[in-house]
Each structure stands twice: as C-alpha cells, then as structure tokens.
A and B are shown apart, each in its own frame.
Chain A
Amino acid sequence: MSMIAGHLEPYLVLSSLLFSIGAFGFLARRNAISMLMSIEVMLNAVNLAALAFGAFMPTLAGQGVAFALLIIAVAAAEATVGLAIVIAIYRNRKTPLVDEYDAMRQ
C-alpha cells in the first residue's frame, strides 16, 4: 500500500465540507436535477473520507478502497434511476420543482 504524505485531518475537513455543501444543496434547492447533483456531491464526500481512512489507517487498508468502489457503483445506479424518475415526473407535471410534486399528499 503506497503511502501519501501529510495528515488525515485535511482530507476529513474537505470531506465534511463537501458533505455539508451537498446536504445543504439537497435540502435547499427546489430543482430536482440540482438535488440529484447534491446527492452525488454527498456520496463523493463520503468516498473521499473512506479513501482517506484507507490510506492513513493501516488497519483499514484496502477496505476503504473497496468501500469507495461499492459507493461509486451504487451512485451510478442511483443517478440512472433518479434521472429516469425525474424525467418521468417532469413529463407528467411539466415542472422540475419538487415542492410542486404533492400528489402523495392528497
């Protein structure tokens, strides 16, 4: 396992920052596409954290990489299905804004 110079903390700070941005984006943006993008940001923030742990903690070596690969696969599937759903809803409701998707409420 190749070693990277530096410390673990900056990676985790960056990861937390990215996750917070993603979470904020998911909660605050009304556009369904933007929300999907925010999810991608959060997933990648988690990926970064996992890889950083894998690189700096000898006990987790290898597991971080495996975990990240798994998340990438899930993220790809999620993006596909998510986009398909968004397009289907858009065709029905003629709007990308999620706060107007209130059919479940009635």
Chain B
Amino acid sequence: MTDTPLSTAPLLLILPLIGFAFTAAFGRRLGKRAHIVPLVAIAAVWVLAMGLAIPALLGDPALGGEGSSLTLFTWIASGDLIFNVGIHVDGLTGALLLVVTSVGALVHLYSVGYMSHDGSYWRFFAYLNLFMFSMLLLVLADNLLVVFAAWELVGLSSYLLIGFWYTKREPGLASKKAFITNRVGDVGFALGLMGLVAVFGSLDIHTILAGIEAGALTGPAATVIALLVFCGAVGKSAQFPLHVWLPDAMEGPTPVSALIHAATMVNAGVYLVARMSPLFAASHEAMLIVAAIGIFTAIFAASIAFTQTDIKRVLAFSTLSQLGYMFAALGVGAWIPAIFHLITHGFFKGLLFLGSGSVIHAVDGEQEMPKMGGLERKIPITYATMLIGTIAIAGLPPLAGFWSKDEILGEAFKFGFGWVWLVGLLVAGMTAFYMFRLIGMTFWGESRVNPAVHVHESPWTMTLPLVALAVPTIVAGFLLGFPFADGILVHGLEPVFAPANELLGHEHEAWTLFGIDGLLMLASVTIAAIGTAIGIRLFSSDHTQLLSSITTRLRPLYEGSRSRWYFDDLNDLVFVQAGGRVARALWWFDRRVVDGAVNGVGTIASSSGRGLRQIQTGRVQNYALGIAVGLIAMVIVYLMVAA
C-alpha cells in the first residue's frame, strides 16, 4: 500500500471523522477550545488534499489520465453482487478536492470568529467535520453505492446545520424543507442506481463507464437511467423545480451557507453528472433536458435575485443561477468549462457568503439590505474582498468568473446550442446587475443602519479567510484556464471526459482570438459590462425616485420576482393543500374501509359468539338431553336410510 500514490488518501476521510467523533464526545467539556481538534484535522486534510489534487490536475502520470484507484475493503458481498469501498483520484476528483478542502479549511477558521458567541460552539464544529467527512467520501468514492451513502450523509449534515439554531421556528422549518425536498430527488437517484445494477450487475463506477463506452446501455434505457440519476442531482444542486429549499437554507449560520450551500455540497449534483458523463452522453435527450433545466434555472433564479432584499437570499438565488449555468454547460457537453466554473464559483461564492456574514456581523445581525448602506469605509476589508468577489461573478476580466463563464458560453455556441448561449448571455448581464445592486445597497450611499449599532470590522479569524479566498478569486481563472482551451484544467480533465466526448463526437479545437472565439468573448464581456454599468448607475448613490418609478411601471414583474414567481405558493397549493386533501381522503378510506373490514370481521365473530353463548347453559343435564335427542335422531335417520 505504501508505493501507491494514494497511500495518504484514506487519511482524508479518517481525520475529519476523528475530529467529528472527538468533538461530539468531548466538545461540550472543551468549551471555547472545542475548535482546536476539528481545525487541526481540516488543516491537515487540506495539506494532504493539495498533495493529491495538484499532481492530479497537472497530469502526474500516477494520478492524471485514467486516475489511480485504491480498494479499501469489501462492504457488501451478496452472490455476484459485490460492493467494494475504494478511493479513486483523477483530475475531476482533484478539482473537487481543491475547492472542498480549501473553502472547507477557511470556513472552519472563519467559524472560530463567527460562532464565538454561540452556546453550542462545539456542536457546530462537530457537524462541520461530519460534513467534511461526508463530502470527501462523496468525491473520493469509486462506487456509486458509497457515493449514494455519502450523498445522504451530506444531506444529513446540511439538515443538521441549517437547523443549527433549532430553538427558533424558521431554521427548524427550513431544515425540514431542505431534507424533504432532497428526498424527492434522491428517490430518482436510488431508482437510477437500481437500473444501473439491473444493467451492469455492479455499481462500480469504472465498470459502469466501461460498459457504457462498450455500448451496453443505449436508447430509451440510457435516457431513463440518466434522467433518474439527474433527479438526484436536481435535488442536491437545487435546480428547478426542486430549487425551493436552497433560499430557505440561508436560515443556517453564514459559514454553513458559504461552505455547504454555495461552495461544496450543492456542487455534488454537478460532480455526479460530470462523473457519469458517458451515461449522459449516451442519450441525446437526457443531455437536452439537463441543458434546458440548467439554463432555465439560471435565468429564473437570476430574475428573482433582482428584487430580494435579504443579502443572503440574493446570494442564494445567485448560487442557484450559477449552478444552473454549470448544468447548462454539462448539458451541451462542455464538461471542462462546467468543472472550471464549479471551481471558480466555489471560491468567489464562498468569498461572497463569508463577506455577507462579515457584514451581518458588523451591523449586529441585520440581514436586510435596505437597513445597510454606507458601510464602504467602516468595514474596508470586507468591502474590498466582496467587491473582488462581485467583479469575479459578474464575469469581468481578468477575474476568475470571466474565464469560466466565457468558456461555458463559448462552447455552448460552438456546439450548436444557440439558445443556451443567448439565455446564458442574458443571465451574465443580469448577474452583473444584481450583484452590483447588492454591493450598492450594502456599501454605497447613505447609511441606513440603526444608529444604535456600533459598526465594526470583524476579527482576524474572519477577515483572513476573506483575504485568502480573494486570492484564488483573482488568479484561479488565469492560472487554470490560460491559455484558452489549453490550460492546466484542460490537460487535467481531458482524459476524464474523453469517453463522453467520444460518444458525443466532440473534438478538441484550437482557440482563436481573431475568430469566432474572440467575438464570443467580446459579446460576453460587453453584456457583463452593460449589466455592471446599469447596476452602478442605479445603486451607486440614492436614486430612489428613479428606482421607484421603474418598479411602479413594472409592478407585476416586480411583485412576481419579489415573490419568487409564486413558486412556494404553488408548492403550497399543490402539495400542502391539494396533497393534504388527497391524504385526508386516503386516511378516511383507510379508517372506514380498510380498518372497517378488519373491525367488521372481529365484530361478526364476537357478536355471533355472544349469540351462540345463549345455548350454553352450563347444566350437565341440558347437554345430556342434547346427546340423547341427537342419538335418537341419528337412529331414526339410520333406520329410514336402511329401510
């Protein structure tokens, strides 16, 4: 085991698990020192993960290419059906490790400051380590059954952390909403896994992918299985129509929003589709649906982000929108740009969420942007880093978001998905607009903060992660994506997606600045700049009159966007009201008809018994008379028959 490059990989799972177990067992007694063990565990995980991720992305012969596997043990052996627990590291795993452990480690550090006043300090760190274990298991596992288990474990951690302040009503409801909505998608995922077992007799990812490459799964069966697996991804990555849980999940502590609901767990769906890319590539229809749902979610969520006033909700809808972008990219077969965007988005959205947490911390727990404003000078580090994150997400060069977003749009266009490109372009402009609206309402203009609040910059444990995340937000795009179509990421990921590209017939093309690529880039930058300009124009200072005249003129649109296009109301109507009525009808049927039949049988037996009891007098002579009469009757019958 020592000579494989993965000899340290099991530690990635063991360390957070130890951190979780230790903190869960002894954390309460450690009080304010509860963070030490989890923090050290995650720091060690980060170092180890970098040791794997960087060679994997750079195409190290031992880790790049086909990747490297390590079987740990056999989990279930039932006849021919064998499930092994193993670790697989290739370029895709490396990309995920990079985001998960980097943001994870910084969020742990940030939480030391952010959660310092919380009574359940230790519980928070125990949950965070549990989450890190689950997420790393999800990314490292080489068997879909293990992936599924990890999938449920991240769901559990997410549930526990959204409902961290469970004594309040909203977090409790939000955690249930997240858990139940995810179950809906997971049913599809589980059915998809059963389908894969039926076809391949195994859930080992490489067996399945090799089978698909050999053409063992095609036609409608491939479409059905791919879409069932995609159901799970839709739930976990909060795509339309299962997106409703993510905005509510912002009831959890902000570090959780940054780590789980922006940078890592919600990417699990994207990772799953990317990991199973040949499965999707085998079905044209499945790809089309992935692209359609992705791009629809992108524009749908962006339109809602326009009017939300809670700073974290704006970011939540922005996350939905950006995840939609990634799915759109996967759907058109732009695998590498999708993962590229996953990485850059993980960094800049993690940064933006942690920044919003710092803002909320500064204004004493206020989350409504109309009660902020003018914070620019008072919390300069937060402002500067959030501005960097905003420029990155807006897609302005040369920050990270530009590189990945531009690649998604470019490939969508080149693969012949003009509609995805067009909507994506529009969303890019919308993103720039609503993000500068957020910055404007929070930091610019007159202060609308409650004068009683003493606005203060956060402690170093909180600002250091912001600065640390600002660095990849600036350089990650350039480092990973330059030169265009030939960068580090392309080399690291190309072997992973080669089978899928072969199925789709995509060829690696050279990038041309003075050709179609240059034009496409110009288009996306122009749109982003226009969105930015409008955002700055409207929110740089107080243009209240201009704004209110716009909202009055577009009242139905404004109200619709504010109410999230009434989707929660629709869910309430369909599932809570109508569903409740159906359930009540079924309950009535169960009570009256099913229970009635059972009780009826009992009643018949007992009442007939009660009736027959009358003839049981308990007197010997009555019985004897019965015997005598019966005997005489038998004799008479005998004589008559004999005669």
Contacts and interface: CB of A to CB of B under 8 A. Distances in A.
A98 B621 contact: yes
A27 B616 contact: no
Interface in A24-59: 26-28, 30, 35
A27 B618 contact: no
Interface of A: 23, 26-28, 30, 35, 98-99, 101-106
Interface string B619-631: 1110011001000
A103 B628 CA distance: 23
Contact of A103 (B618, B621, B625): B618
A34 to B, nearest CB: 11
Contacts of B624: 26-27
Nearest to A30: B621
A13 to B, nearest CB: 17
B: contact size bracket: under 10
A22 B295 CA distance: 103
A105 B618 contact: yes
A105 B616 contact: yes
Contacts of B628: 23, 27
Contacts of A35: 620-621
B549 interface: no
A27 B619 contact: no
A5 B620 CA distance: 42
A106 B616 CA distance: 10
A105 B388 CA distance: 93
A27 B617 contact: no
B618 A104 contact: yes
Contacts of A99: 619, 621
B625 A102 contact: no
A35 B619 CA distance: 13
A75 B621 CA distance: 20
Nearest to A104: B618
Interface centre among A23, A30, A106 (most CB of B within 10 A): A23
A26 B621 contact: yes
**B-side binding surface: helix, strand, loop or mixed?**
helix
Contacts of B616: 104-105
Contacts of A26: 621, 624
Nearest to B617: A105
A99 B621 CA distance: 8
15 contacts: A23-B628, A27-B624, A27-B625, A27-B628, A28-B621, A30-B621, A35-B621, A98-B619, A99-B619, A101-B620, A102-B617, A102-B618, A103-B618, A104-B616, A104-B618
Contacts of A103: 618
Nearest to A26: B624
A48 to B, nearest CB: 19
A98 to B, nearest CB: 5
Contacts of A27: 621, 624-625, 628
B137 to A, nearest CB: 67
Contacts of B618: 101-106
A77 B619 CA distance: 23
Given A27-B628, A35-B621, A102-B618, 10 more contacts: A26-B621, A27-B624, A35-B620, A98-B619, A98-B620, A98-B621, A99-B621, A101-B619, A105-B616, A105-B618
Nearest to B618: A105
Nearest to A32: B620
A15 to B, nearest CB: 15
A36 B417 CA distance: 106
A30 B624 CA distance: 13
A44 to B, nearest CB: 18
Contacts of B617: 102, 105
Nearest to A105: B618
A49 to B, nearest CB: 15
A104 B624 CA distance: 16
Nearest to B625: A27
Q: Which 4 A-B pairs have the closest CB atoms?
A: A105-B618, A102-B618, A104-B618, A98-B620
A35 to B, nearest CB: 8
B621 A102 contact: no
Contacts of B621: 26-28, 30, 35, 98-99
Nearest to B613: A105
A27 B84 CA distance: 82
Contacts of A28: 621
Nearest to A28: B621
A106 B617 CA distance: 10
B627 to A, nearest CB: 10
Nearest to B616: A105
B620 to A, nearest CB: 5
A27 B625 CA distance: 6
A26 B616 CA distance: 19
Task: Give the one of B617, B621, B628 with max A CB within 10 A.
Answer: B621
Contacts of A23: 628
Contacts of A102: 617-619
A59 to B, nearest CB: 19
